[in-house]
Structure 1
Amino acid sequence: MPINFDSKTGIFHINTKNTSYIFRLIKEGYVFGGYWGASIDSLDPSRLWQTYPSGFSPNYPGSMHGNIGLDLYPSEYPVYGSGDFRSPAIQVEFPNGSRLLDLRYLSHSITAGDRTPQPGLPQLSGADETLEIVLFDPSTGLEVVVRYAVYEAEDCIARSTAIVNRTNQPLRILRALSASVDILNEDYQMMNLYGAHARERQIERQSIRHGINAIESSRGSSSHQQNPFMAIVSPETTEHSGAAYGFSLIYSGNFLANAELDQFDYVRLQMGINPFDFAWNLGPDQTFCTPEAVLTYSRQGLNRLSQNFHNVFRNHLGASLYRNQPRPIVINNWEATYFNYD
């Protein structure tokens, strides 16, 4: 099965045809990231993280251990206000003005096939398995469902979240990203596709510096100016060799893609709706769903990364009747008659 959970170690292992995505639930209820890359059979829990001195990195609430702080470890869905000073995936304002969160594991489920449809949002269909992890903050009553839909043959994972207001008061969502992944840095470079009218999809590739490296759009649509895509690649990666991580957001509105390099040499990779000028009022028992971010990994360069995206979008997103058969030919007649013909 693509998704496995070991209750003894707390390790979740998501398998696709050529990749492994591994993270761990610790006893205190936090879900820490671990490994994402080429397929492996298993991973020793003691090798999931490195331990660092925790000067100026506070322990998480309830912890007395000197080297366990949320600022020191990778997180699957980081929050603001519990000691992780890197970019959060979520920020919520409560009626009393507080924006602090402490999300911890409540439950999880692994189901065959698709997850619940997201109202008003396009999404991939035909998943092999779906993992849903429910996180909950008992002091505020906020619930967050983190979803992983696995497409085994295409080496893709579709990530999204659902934010549920379990309180009896309205709250205000200020930031709600679809995916957040922390990986150890290996001199990675960030690649994005910028452009303009008549010169779309220009490739830009640059080293990831310490701090936040971001691409974004706030013009109301992703457009030709910036595309909701990001790749993280090794310096030696070419079209047909080398490591490449890919992120693509199934959403054409304002978006943000982050690559943040911290002082401990972790890179936090995030994608979702742009928090700029964003706010969403969420009433009691209401749910807000984020668009899907599709994640894939290739160790055979950018060409394989592109093929993974092509395959998953062709097989699981396109709704055309001709998706799996030869299509009729339409002559490019745009500026001749502006489609005013039979």
Structure 2
Amino acid sequence: MIEKKDNFFHLYNKKISYIFEILENGHLGQVYFGKRVSKLWEYDICYLKKYKNKAAGTVKYSKDMGNFTLADQLQEYPVYGTSDFGMSAIDVRCESEIYYLDFQYQDYKVKRYKKRNLDFPTSYGNNAETLSIELLDVERNLKLWQNFTIFDDTAAIVKSIKLENVGEKKVNVNKCLSGVLELRNMPNHELVTLDGAWLRERHINIRPIKHGLTTVSSLKGASGHQHNPFIMIKEKDTTLETGEIYAANLIYSGNFISGVEMDEWDKARIFVGINPEYFEWGLSPKETFSTPEAVFFYSENGINSLMDETSLFVNEHVIDKKWQDVTKRPIVFNSWETMYFDFDEKKLLDAAKEVKKLGMECFVIDDGWFENRNDDRNSLGNWKYDINKFPNGLKSFSKKIHDMNLKLGIWFEPEMVSPNVELLKKHPEWLLGHPYSRKAIGRGQYVLDFSNPMVIEEIYNQIKKIIIMTNLDYIKWDMNRNITEAYSAYLHDNDRSQGEVFHRYICGVYTLYKKIISDFPDILIEGCAGGGGRYDLGILFYSPQIWPSDNSDATERLDILTGTVLGYPLSSFSSHITASPNHQTNRRTMLSTRHNIGIFGALGYELDLNKLSTQEKKEIKDVISFYKKNQELMMYGRFIKLTTNDDVYNWAVVNKDKSEAVVMIFNRKIKPNSTPKSYLKLHFLDEGKKYIINDTDIVSGEFLKKYGMENPIVFNGINQQYSVVTEDLQAICVKIREYK
């Protein structure tokens, strides 16, 4: 999948080509990223070399190279101060000196296959080839490897950087982004970001790309509720099925920056990497620093095609493939919105009996199971079960759950500590925070210093005892407080820069993940950070699913899901059916609506089963039965947006051979006598097949594709017998299968 001709490199598979060159000054220059081209013929190369823009009014790179300037070049890894004045990818300094870097091509090598390594999250796959380009700044004694990985099945290019100090002086790295993509002629494009806040994460935000710099970022120590590393650049008239799209994401969970800069010639520079604010990495002689991986995607056929590529990439090359076996993904019941802190062993076991009767598969005890944890203001960092809540012991409770043929899950918040616990009294230096007299406190808790290996080991040993004691199947890993006053006593004592705190902290989080997964490979860990505060590819490398938001309102989840699936697969979206009225919005929603939205993704429940009517329990049993039969479709089927606007959501999932599909139609508001009939074109079906709709109507695929399926959302407003919907906020699912 990788070829070199003259000074040009061509990475390709059946979907895409990525071409870059060695520029005349020895730097790497981008040429093309898009739909697969056959190859660069000799006359194409001559043409590219002959016609190079020479921008007026620019500083020239060197007096020895005529009119050559980097200002008008598409570059692989731009640096400031070498005739380019745009956003730089790297900033290195030595004592008080700023380095104006000049990395020049030396050599390359190609490596096949890419193993999954739990040390740090990266893409992986046996169908991969990685091209490593070696570049050297001779005067400043720095070596840089730029890595490009291509897989044979995805329209994605993965980039990363490794920097080595080959000199005799220590240097400080103040910025080292993971990857850059440059594109010409972008005046009519838009930037799409996933923005929001706690309880309304990853809503789609579209803005025009203007001259200058537009970024989204985080300085919270996590990817954050407010912005997500995923960004997308599309033509203004892009639709669900047409238009070119470029997208970028980062396999990382800490502070990030993603953005685009447009210059005076409408050239766009897209970039993603570790946020350089409050970042500094000391690099002594012979030491190296490696960035997280950046992923760049391409789609020539609109938004649905882009989602195909991001979903395929994450499912196949980020998440551990063993979790694609849906039998390992249980339907969970979580105690949180059912009981909060108010429970004991009897109350839990009574609930577990109902859980088993209804067909759920995993009983998860959320927050409140450990000593003195009767509210959210104490006991974190002391992972010992509460004898008052479990008088017979947690081991005995676990056996009773497993004897019901249920899996057991437990909530942890490993990265946090409460002020009153013995751990902090014994080791105040294990707290992450500057030794000022004033320290910020959030949610009544502090953050442990996960840059310190001893802290990780202590927390792991506590968690490990609980795992072994309970024969644990499932962990909900929460993280409810962001980092402030980032300071590590451990790094101070080891003469390391405090600018390393944020990155070393998230590396410590990954280390704890590795310890748990290495020792207990069958445990399913669900990621959570106050809900969706750390929904990123770094967490998905270790956790196959993430709690997407603490807002469990079904209709609010519509907006969260439609944004999330731009960059992340449906299989990663943990979706719980909760109470009505909802605990966050106080909104009343029909159980059928909550189900018809909630079955898309990883299904779970979080409501008081004792308050349900007989009819509601029957509905839950029926839906669970349907979901178990169709779980692979609902988690791994191709997710397709059919239409979206403020009041209507239509989407579908379809399997690979187009023999089964589920279509979801949602109306936010009923509209009396709006139309007697409307049809929804199901363009994703096979027109050569026959289909049966809801086991009732037999229709040809050609008809459904070209004419459409009758929209079941009907509200007459006068004669209710002709109405399918009876109130606002109603969702209907239609099951379609091949008729033979």
TM-score normalised over the length of structure 2: 0.44
Q: Matched residues in 1 for 2:115 and 2:139: separation?
A: 28
User: Is the partner of 1:322 in helix, strand or coil?
Assistant: helix
Q: 1:31 to 1:63 in 2, by over 3 A?
A: farther
Q: Matched residues in 2 for 1:324 and 1:290: separation?
A: 31
Partner of 2:206: 205
Does the 8 Å CA contact 1:249/1:271 hold for their aligned counterparts?
yes
Partner of 1:181: 181
Q: Matched residues in 2 for 1:162 and 1:156: separation?
A: 20
Partner of 1:124: 123
Does the 8 Å CA contact 2:273/2:294 hold for their aligned counterparts?
yes
Q: 1:12 to 1:313 in 2, by over 3 A?
A: same
Q: Matched residues in 1 for 2:209 and 2:324: separation?
A: 38
Check if 1:167 corresponds to 2:164. Answer: no
Does the 8 Å CA contact 1:190/1:206 hold for their aligned counterparts?
yes
Output aligned runs, 1:25-174, within 5 Å: 25-43=22-40, 44-45=44-45, 46-47=47-48, 51-61=52-62, 63-66=64-67, 68-95=68-95, 97-114=97-114, 120-126=119-125, 127-174=127-174
Q: 1:292 to 1:48 in 2, by over 3 A?
A: farther
Q: Matched residues in 2 for 1:324 and 1:101: separation?
A: 48
Q: Matched residues in 1 for 2:103 and 2:69: separation?
A: 14
Deviations 1:218-256 (A, max 9, x none): 121112211011101011112222111111111111111
Deviations 1:288-311 (A, max 9, x none): 010011111001111221221111
Partner of 1:240: 241
Partner of 2:322: 321
One-letter code aligned to 1:216:
S
One-letter code aligned to 1:334:
W
Q: 1:53 deviation in Å?
A: 4.2
Partner of 1:4: 3
Q: 1:253 to 1:27 in 2, by over 3 A?
A: same
User: Is the partner of 1:71 in helix, strand or coil?
Assistant: helix
Query: If each structure's strand is expressed as a fraction of its own residues, which one has the higher value?
Result: 1
One-letter code aligned to 1:313:
V
Q: 1:196 to 1:37 in 2, by over 3 A?
A: same
User: Is the partner of 2:228 in helix, strand or coil?
Assistant: coil
Between the two proteins, the alignment pairs up a number of residues equal to 337
Query: If each structure's helix is expressed as a fraction of its own residues, which one has the higher value?
Result: 2
Does the 8 Å CA contact 1:34/1:48 hold for their aligned counterparts?
no
Q: 1:115 deviation in Å?
A: 7.7
Does the 8 Å CA contact 1:80/1:99 hold for their aligned counterparts?
no
Q: Matched residues in 1 for 2:66 and 2:314: separation?
A: 45
Does the 8 Å CA contact 2:181/2:269 hold for their aligned counterparts?
yes
List 4+ stretches of structure 1 deviating above 4 A.
none
Q: 1:65 deviation in Å?
A: 1.6
Q: 1:172 deviation in Å?
A: 0.3
User: Is the partner of 1:321 in helix, strand or coil?
Assistant: helix
Alignment root-mean-square deviation, CA: 2.1
Check if 1:309 corresponds to 2:310. Answer: yes
Q: Percent same amino acid at aligned positions?
A: 32
Partner of 1:15: 12
Q: 1:191 to 1:50 in 2, by over 3 A?
A: farther
Partner of 1:331: 333
Gaps of 5+ in 1: none
Q: Matched residues in 1 for 2:238 and 2:286: separation?
A: 47
Q: 1:99 to 1:310 in 2, by over 3 A?
A: same
Partner of 2:696: none
Does the 8 Å CA contact 1:131/1:147 hold for their aligned counterparts?
yes
Does the 8 Å CA contact 2:262/2:269 hold for their aligned counterparts?
yes
Partner of 1:24: 21
Gaps of 5+ in 2: 341-363, 366-397, 402-740
Question: Mean Cα displacement is larger for which, 207-216 or 324-333?
Answer: 324-333
Q: 1:48 to 1:221 in 2, by over 3 A?
A: farther
Partner of 2:221: 220
